[in-house]
Amino acid sequence: MLTQIIAHRGSKGTRPENTLPAFIAAIEDGADGIETDVHLSRDGQLIIMHDELVDRTTNGTGRIVDHTLAELKQLDAGVKYASAYAGTRIPTLDEVVQLLIQYNFTGIFNLEIKTNKIHYEGIEDLVADYFNHHQVPFTLIYSSFYGKSIERLHILQPEVESDSLFKTKVQTAKRLHAQHIVLGYHPDIRWVRVHWLLLPKVQLRPWTVNTERDMRFCYRHRFAGLITDYPGLARRIRKQVQGG
């Protein structure tokens, strides 16, 4: 089996992260999967962005949860990356899903529930309800740094794979794996390089694997996948190491 290439926030290294252009670039680069993040707006809409604040990636300020969808749609999510992307808007979960359907994307869609800093009330139920009412061509995977979100989603949709995210604290991931709530781990690549031999036999998809050295490390050890800002580069390196 080839190590799967998961595009981190789309092709984050070559397009404005978590925007439709980034997801299109990831598909065109041949990524096996797409990783993205979901929050709730003030009016309960599922918003695709990494940070809790809009400040870093848009021309706005403040928390997503303090803005309505209409207010968020007024912000520019591309101009800070490059002037060529001025006018790019913050997408909703539905807009991303419809894009993937349009492109007939059949790989992995890894949705991170961003509840480790703000515990958005009911976000797990809204996400599960969305996918219960939308037929999709791709394989859905949930992940989160917040164990309670994973536990809730496992209750709501036990048929959907869930994976545990962590930087250095593996205890929650081990507990969820022992309880058969998560199938795999999504740890920081820096942690993996030190600890991977000590892990139980789990499916590993480290993040954020951006250097050729780290990519080759993941490919040599045949990890299940890697999460990268540069899916095009990762695909070229994989061909050299694993073929296919």
∠ CA 195-4-169, nearest 5°, is 30
State the Cα–Cα distance between residues 12 and 4, nearest whole angstrom.
17
∠ CA 96-228-208, nearest 5°, is 115
Could you count the other beta carbons within 10 Å of the beta carbon of residue 214? 20
Query: Active-site residues: which are they?
Result: 8, 50
Compute the half-sphere exposure of residue 50: CA atoms within 13 Å on the CB side of its CA. 15
Paired with 206 in beta bridges are none
Q: Which two tokens stand for residue 109?
A: 């869609």
- Give every CB contact of residue 124 below 8 A, 6+ residues apart in sequence: 113, 115, 149, 152, 153, 156
H-helix or E-strand spanning residue 173: helix 171-178
The sign one gets for the Cα dihedral 71, 73, 74, 75 is positive
